[in-house]
Amino acid sequence: MKRREEQERRARRGDTDPRYEYIFQVLAACAGIARHQVMDHVFEENLLEEISKFLMPGQYNNMVWFYQECEESPDEKATHEEEEEADAKSPTSPLLSQPSSGQSRRNSVVSGPTEQQHSRRNSTATQHTEDGEAEQQEPGKRMRLFVGNPRTTPLRGVCVCMTRTNPQRSVTEENVHREVNFMLLRASDDPSVLLRSVNRLLGRVFVPAVRTNPSDLDSAPGSGSARDHLLAGLRSFASSLHVSESILEERVVLAKAEEGAGEVRGLTEAQAALTQPDQVAAVERSVVTWLKQIESVLIEMEQLRQETDDAGPQDELEYWKRRMAKFKFLAEQMDSPQVRNE
C-alpha cells in the first residue's frame, strides 16, 4: 500500500512545472522546512489542483497558507499508532509516505486545522532548527502546512498569503515572480513577535505602496487628500503596533513575595501576623523590593522624558502611551490579591 501511494505521488510530481517549483521554494523558505516536505503536503492534500486554479486567470486571487502545530484528530492518532507499529515490524526502512486524503478542502470556503479529520499529509512534517536537526513535537500534535481561512484559523506559527497582481492575467514561467506576491506573518508564544511582524509588513510594504504606486482613484476629485488620510491612518496604526510591542517587551512584573510572607486576609489575620517577627520581616523585604522596582521605573521614564524633549510630536505621543501603559500595569499588579494580601 505505502509503496503504491509513493509511486502515485512521484507520478504526480510530473504535473508540476517551474511555476509550481517557484511557489514550493518560497513556501519552504517561509515555513523553514525542506522543499520536498512542502511538496508532500501539497500532494497528500490534493492541493495541486487548487494551485493550478490560483495560477489561472479569473479563478482564485489569493491562497492563505498556515504552517503551525495542530491537534491530531482521534482517527489520525489511531492511524499513526498503527503505522508506527507496522514500521517497527518492517525489516527495511520505509519511505516517507502517507495515505492521500480524499477531497481538497479549499473550495469556496477554506477550512481550518480543526476540520482536517481525513488529512494525513502532516505525518512526516517536522520543524527544523537552524542546524537542520528535527525538533521533537509534543505528543498528539503535528506540524501542518495547510490552506486555511484567516478569519477562522488562529495564527500560532507561520502564515503565508499568496496574492495575484492581476487576477485576470495568466501566470507563466516568465512572469510568475512578478504576478504572484507573498506576504509573511509570524506568531509565537511571545505576542510581540506578531506585532513586530505586522508592523514590518505595514512599514515595508503597504505604506510605500500607497505612497508611490498609482491607482484608479488618482484621477478622482480629492484623491490627494484621500491618499494622505489613508497614509496617516496606516502610520498611526504602525505607531500603535510599535508602542504595543515596546510595552510587552519592557513591562515590569513585580517580584513574587518572599517565602514566609504568607497571605493575610482581614484584620484578624493581620493582627495575628504582627505577632510573627519572621513573617513581618518577610513582608517588609517584599515591599522594599516592590518599591525599588517602582522607583527604577520612575527614574527610567524620567530619563526617557529628557531624551525626547527635542523629539517630534509622534515620538512624544508614543512616550506618553508607553508611560501610561507601564503605570497602569503596575497599578493593576498593586491592586491584585497577591499584593494586597501580603
Q: 112-163: per-residue pLDDT in tens?
A: 443 443 333 443 444 443 344 444 556 567 888 999 999 999 898 999 999 9
Q: What residue segments make up the domains of the chain, in order of their start? A: 2-187, 191-250, 252-340
Q: Are 18 and 3 in contact (CB under 8 A)?
A: no
Q: Which of 38, 44, 15 is nearest to 25 (CA)?
A: 38
When pLDDT is cut at 50, 70 and 90, the band that residue 209 belongs to is confident
b/e 247-273 (16+ beta carbons within 10 angstroms → b): beeeeeebeebbeebbebeeeeeeeeb
**Under 8 Å between Cβ of 50 and 65:** no
18 versus 5: which is more confidently predicted?
Answer: 18
As given in the structure block, the three cell numbers for residue 267 are 484584620
| H-assigned helices in 174-312 | 176-179, 191-201, 207-212, 223-250, 266-273, 277-307
- DSSP H/E element including 31: helix 18-31
At 131, the amino acid letter reads D
pLDDT tens figures, 164-199: 988 888 899 999 999 999 999 998 888 888 898 899
Residue 186: helix, strand or coil by DSSP?
strand
The C-alpha R_g of the chain, in whole angstroms, comes to 28
Mean of per-residue pLDDT scores for the chain: 75
Cα angle, residue 93 at apex, residues 89 and 94 outer, rounded to 5°: 90
DSSP state of 256: P
The 10s digit of each residue's pLDDT in 258-272 is: 776 666 666 677 777
Residue 141 is predicted with a pLDDT of 76
Which of the two residues, 35 and 335, has the higher pLDDT score? 35
pLDDT band at 77 (very low <50, low <70, confident <90, very high): low
Task: Report, as an integer, the average pLDDT of 60-87.
Answer: 72
Do β-strands 158-164 and 134-135 pair in parallel, antiparallel, or remain unpaired? unpaired
Question: Contact at 8 Å (CB) between 144 and 34?
Answer: no
* Per-residue pLDDT tens over the stretch 302-325: 776 666 566 677 777 888 888 888
Whole-number Å distance between alpha carbons of 135 and 128: 6
